[in-house]
């Protein structure tokens, strides 16, 4: 059985919420109940990039 690290879980959860909000940082911060600057910091920390669909 392989376990995920807390950091991996946090990254996946953040990405999931970002995708559900169409990468709306304000909505994401509201749903996660954290400040917007914290969302932006986590995006940078995890190296997440918004890739438009289409």
Packing angle, helices 25-32 and 36-46, rounded to 10: 100
Query: Domain containing 20: what range?
Result: 6-46
Query: What's the structural domain count of the chain?
Result: 1
Tell me, yes or no, whether 54 lies in a domain.
Answer: no
Instruction: Give the per-residue pLDDT at 53.
Output: 63
Tell me, yes or no, whether 18 lies in a domain.
Answer: yes
Instruction: Give the per-residue pLDDT at 45.
Output: 97
Q: How confident is the model at residue 1 (pLDDT cuts 50, 70, 90)?
A: confident
Q: What is the end-to-end Cα distance of the chain in Å, rounded?
A: 36
What's 35's domain CATH number? 1.10.10
pTM (two decimals)? 0.87
> Is there a contact between 9 and 46 (Cβ–Cβ < 8 Å)?
no
Find tokens 């289409």 and name the residue: 54
Tell me, yes or no, whether 52 lies in a domain.
Answer: no
Tell me, yes or no, whether 53 lies in a domain.
Answer: no
For residues 15-53, b (16+ Cβ closer than 10 Å) or e, as one string?
Answer: eebbeebebeeebbbeebeeeeeebeebbeeeeeeeeee
Give tens-digit pLDDT for 12-52: 999 999 999 999 999 999 999 999 999 999 999 999 998 76
Tell me, yes or no, whether 16 lies in a domain.
Answer: yes
């Amino acid at each position: 059985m392989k376990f995920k690290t807390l950091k991996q879980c946090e990254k996946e959860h953040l990405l999931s919420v970002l995708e559900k909000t169409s990468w709306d940082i304000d909505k994401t911060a509201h749903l996660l109940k954290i400040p917007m600057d914290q969302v932006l910091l986590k995006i940078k920390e995890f190296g997440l990039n918004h890739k438009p669909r289409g």
